[in-house]
Each structure stands twice: as structure tokens, then as C-alpha cells.
Chains A and B, each alone.
Chain A
């Protein structure tokens, strides 16, 4: 079975919610819509305090080419425009909407009927995706319309659908495929039309045999869409690793997937594309896995953007007594939250509640130079060296040792027998070196 060739680890799956079908979460009392839910410039507000908005109405326009629109996930009155602490731990600009009823904007089609035909031109499709504010929902939150607009001179020859979901605990993509399979296939065909490609591959990890079989069945009449089971191997869902597993090509250091002719989209993004193009529905809700060993009722919920995490945890049976950490995302790359007020954003794929015992890090020893971190790194870097250089703030050598190639997957820290906080230092080093490189270009 195919997989990527360098490094990687095998963390325990812990897919506690794989069998739980998606449940709609009740609307929150107040939705907190962050204005920076994507890579790129924050969106610019087009509404004011006190305005009454409908579900799906535009709240903020994209702030540049690499940016995204933000729409209201609820209907009600804008209570205030201020700041809310997001997953980064710092207060960020946000719109607070007091929720009344669920009044949708007129243009949105609310039926569940499957719309198979799409008569739009590729440019119109991309414009509609941009208008709907769709970003990568695997967690990276890169504006989808930008990815679908290759720079001049670069052509896409293969669309890869990332249905891998390699993070332990997360099952949102899995359930989405099982319950909205036909819509996803239509979404794939729409994206293929938008990109002008005639081939697509859906990559699914082998621990989801039901999804693999279902997608194979649904794509029987579309021979250009292939379903490819992939070995369970973290981080198989990383863009570069997925491209290598599917096509055998490694994206060169410093280059983008489009440079080797590939475009990767998360399966949740594909579903959002279907809803945007066929139902005029902007990105206002998503599937979030709420899970954890001590939760009473873990499950997969359809949640409106802006819902406080506290509501999700309530729906899962409330915060357990022995809760130690609340993580937005998966355990390998997710962010530990400071409190339950943090709102759900476009990239929130899961909420993981960890017990106190699991939450505390083990004591740190000196590096024993075993080299296991090198064996684990999927980018072929030397984490022990990068971490030591970042700790000593040797930025120039850090740049030479390819710190910018690091995808922050966490394999090194997971593996280290001395429990060293390798990724902590590497992340900071990467941010500092990135800032130095950007200031050089100016």
C-alpha cells in the first residue's frame, strides 16, 4: 500500500467517534465570528454595530488577494464589534452577534436535493467559491479560490482530495464521506472543471474501509476519479507527503504543489464547494469532532462558525472533572485553548478534551543523541540540531539547515525518548527566520 518514503510515526488511532453519525448542534446564544479565520490579510467589516443580519449574509470582505470573505453564521443583531481570544491565545478582532431565530438569506437553497449539473464556466466557479469565503478546512485555512487560480505558466495535471484524516481522534472527514458521499463526488467534479484537469485521486487512509468502499462505489461511473487507499502513517495527510504517496513526486524545498502540477483540497472543503456552487451557501458551518476518553457523549457535530467551544463540550456531556487540556484540532498539531470561550472557526476540525494525567508533559532530559528524531522527521531534517540552534538563537545557521522546510507535524517531539520540547523551539525559530527572510525581500 502506498505511502510517503521519509520518516513518519504511528501514533495510536483513538478514533472513538468513528461510528457516531453527525448531529446538528443547537444554535448558540451569541455567535463570536473572528475576522481572521484564514491565511492572509484579515477581512474588512462591511456591517456595523446594531445591524440586523441574516444567516449567510456577508459580514466582512476579503482584505486582499490572499484573503477570504466572512459571512454571518446566524441571524440576529450585532451586539458589538470587539476582540475575542482565539486559538492563538491572543485577543483578535471579532463580531459578536446575539442570535434570534434562524433567518437565512434568500439566495441560499435550503433543500437537501442533490444537484448534479453545473453549467458555470471555470472562472465563474472560482468566483463563486471566492464569494462564499471557502478556505482549506483541513486546518490550514488557505483561501480555496487562490489555490484554484494557478499562477501564469503553471498548470495542474492532477487534483488530489485529502480524505486521509491522519490525526488521532478526528473523524469529521470520515463521517462526512459516509453521509454526504454523493455531494462530495459532485464537488470533486466541479473542482476538476474549475481547474481544467481530467484526473482526480481521493486519498483515504486504510483505517476507514467503509469510506473507501463507499467512495469507490460512488465513483464507478467516473473512471477519471480514482480512490486510493493509503497506509496508516502520520503525517500522511500533510500536503507534500500526500502528493508523494499519490504520485511519487516530491515537492522541492521552497516550492508549492502547483509547481509539480498538483492541487490538494481537503474533503470538507470539497463539500463546502458543492454547497457554495450548487446551493449558493457560503461557508458558515462545519463538522467538528468532539472527543476525549473521559467525555460522556463524544460525537461528530454540525456546528455553526462562531459557536463557543463550551457549547460543544456541553453537547458532549459536559467538561469532565479530571479535564486537563482542551485542544482545538487533533493531538499532534492542534492548539491548546486557554478557556472554553474560544469560538469555532473555519479551520476547527475537532475539540479534544484530555485528562490531567495525559496533559502534563514528562520530565525533560539532556539530548542523548540517539537520532530517533531524524528517523521520524518526514521532511528529512535534523530536529535535534534545529531545536538546539533555535534555543541559542543562531538564526543564520538555522536558515542554512532548512528550518523553513519544517511542516511542524510534531513527529520529532513525539518520538524523543528524552521528552525534549523540540517543536517548541523549532516553531519559534521558523517564525523568526521567516520574518528575517521576509524583511530581506523588502
Chain B
């Protein structure tokens, strides 16, 4: 027989899952929120998103090709996803060069310097965002008003405080209603305005088994319970739990940033511990810290704890002795 057969170890068939499929599903899940934010903030939102995605892609290509000298990994869609998530954390009036710096930090420092996809410890988009927040605090905290807010306010003001900003300042009476926050009648970054659109995306991800419920649910439940305890203790000082759930980047963070495969724990029990940690830290920073938004820092801190969580939180074994 002249034919040279292939010989390998079993299994000889493979499921049709791939890295790219998972990344593109997440990108698709973010499209409703993108549409809402473009409606809310106009063309600047689209521009910010485009610049962010383009910079991330270009930086990943350049670094992979010239610094790491490896075949490029752009087709797996992770650079596009990082760009999209970074954009969702930015105000729509951010100057283009700041966005490019953010992309460089996100891709170059937080992802490629660790060895590329799969090797990074911290969520790249969040590292980019936090870097920009600390380096350009003024530009990063000037939030344009949404179309709906401008129409409703009747003033000429183009920027204003976000609900979290109001909470930090103690101005609870000026908070928008829960419905407003759900539908996007609030200010904030691109990704903060549309809790409902984000929920649609999350349901899509859950149905396609791209993510599991453990991380988002444990974060949101923890935030709710902890905020409720604080609120019941001192309603003047601490906002109510529903407001906490619907404001800021919590929805985006809990469903899309914390669920990032690379930086979150692998076993389900570990994911719940991780989610609880993020929830507690978020409320702590929001209520007692000096920053209005706590989700980004909470996730980054828990990213650092993930390896220890992986070490101690193991999945349930078959035939494990009952305790």
C-alpha cells in the first residue's frame, strides 16, 4: 500500500468549537448595546469604537509580526473584542490620541507582553481603561449627555454627571429612575447606558453556552445583597441596591468583562468565589472609596486572585468521598 496513513492518538474527531467562534459570539452579543449607544451619543460613539478597534488590531498585528515574530492571530477575533470592550468603557467625546494610547496599553502591555491570548493575567480592556483613567482623569470623567437627556433637560449643557457621580456626591435626589437607567436615559460611557441591550446580549451568550451563569449571577446577587445591607443601615448615605445594579459599568462588567475566559477561574465553584469577591469590592469602592466607579478595579483585583482560586477551588470529582 503506497498510501501513508495519518497516525495520531485518539480522539480522532473534534467538536466544531473554536476560539474565533467564541470571540465572535461575544462581539455579536455586544452589537445591541453598540446600537443603543450610537443612538444615544451620535456619531462620536461610532468613531470612538472604530478608532479603538482599529488601533487594537493594528497594534496586535505589529507586535505579533515584528516583536514576537510569530504568525498573526488576528483571525481569532480577540483583538477586535478588546477594542470593542475598551470603547465601551470610554466617554464618547474622548480625543482620538487618548484612545490610541489606551489601545496600546491594553494590547501591548496587558496582553502581548504576557505572551498573547491565553497568557495574560489581567483583563486587557480594563487595564487600558484604568490606565487612561489614572493618566487622563479630566478627559475620562467628562461624560457627554445622551440625546434623551439633552432633550429632557432643556438646557444647553452637553456634559453632566453620571448616576455614580451623583451617588458619590451624595445627591440621591437627582438620580434618574430605575426605568430610565434600564433603558438608557442616563449618562455615562458608551457601554453604561443600555442595561437592557446588554441583557439581551447576555441571554444570547448563555443560550449558546459561550458563558455560564455563575459569574454574572454571583456578581449581581452579591452587589444587590451587600448594597441592600448598607442601604438598610443608612439610607441617607448609601444608595439603594437596584440603583447599584443598574448604574455604571456593573452590567457590562459582570456580564462581559468578568466573564473573560483567560482571566477568570476555571471551575464553577471558583467562579462563584470570584463573583462574590468582585461584588463585595465593587460596592466597597463605590461606597467608601474615592473613585465613583468600582467595577473595573474590583475585576482587576480579582484577576490577580484567580490563580489562587484555581488552585483551591476544584471541580466536583467523580467518586469523591462524601464529606
Binding site for B on A (CB under 8 A): 6, 9, 11, 89, 168, 240, 244, 250-253, 255, 319, 323-327, 329, 331-340, 352, 354, 356, 358-362, 365-372, 374-375, 377-382, 384, 402, 405, 408, 410, 413-419, 421, 423-424, 427
Contacts and interface: CB of A to CB of B under 8 A. Distances in A.
Nearest to B118: A366
B261 A255 contact: no
Interface in B1-38: 1, 3, 5-15, 17-19, 21-22
B6 A325 contact: yes
Contacts of B13: 11, 168, 331-332, 358, 414
B318 interface: yes
Given A253-B318, A360-B6, A418-B18, 12 more contacts: A9-B15, A323-B5, A329-B10, A336-B8, A336-B12, A352-B12, A366-B118, A367-B118, A368-B117, A370-B261, A382-B267, A423-B11
Contacts of B289: none
Nearest to B317: A380
Contacts of A418: 18-19, 118
B290 to A, nearest CB: 33
A414 B11 CA distance: 7
B58 to A, nearest CB: 21
Contacts of B21: 417
B14 A362 contact: yes
Contact of A331 (B6, B12, B76): B12
Contact of B119 (A240, A334, A366, A380): A366
B315 interface: yes
Nearest to B21: A417
B5 A339 contact: yes
A405 B15 contact: no
- The DSSP consensus for interface residues of chain B is loop
Please name the 8 residue pairs, one residue from A and one from B, whose CB atoms are nearest each other, closest first: A410-B11, A371-B266, A366-B118, A380-B317, A370-B261, A331-B13, A417-B17, A253-B319
B156 interface: no
Interface centre among B6, B11, B19, B317, by most chain A C-beta atoms within 10 angstroms, is B11
Nearest to A333: B10
A415 B11 CA distance: 11
Contacts of B14: 361-362, 413-414, 419
A384 B319 contact: no
B3 A319 contact: yes
Given A250-B318, A372-B17, A415-B17, A89 B261 contact: no
A237 to B, nearest CB: 15
A424 B9 CA distance: 6
Nearest to B3: A323
A402 B317 contact: yes
A423 B6 contact: no
Among B13, B119, B261, B262, the one with the most A-chain Cβ atoms within 10 Å of its Cβ is B13
B10 A423 contact: yes
Interface string B212-241: 100000000000000000000000000000
Given A326-B5, A359-B6, A368-B262, A381 B317 contact: yes
A326 B4 CA distance: 11
A366 B5 contact: no
Contact of A417 (B19, B73, B263): B19
Contacts of B264: 369
Contact of B9 (A253, A339, A374, A427): A427
Given A240-B319, A372-B17, A336 B22 contact: no
A390 B153 CA distance: 64
A333 B212 CA distance: 29
A8 B207 CA distance: 18
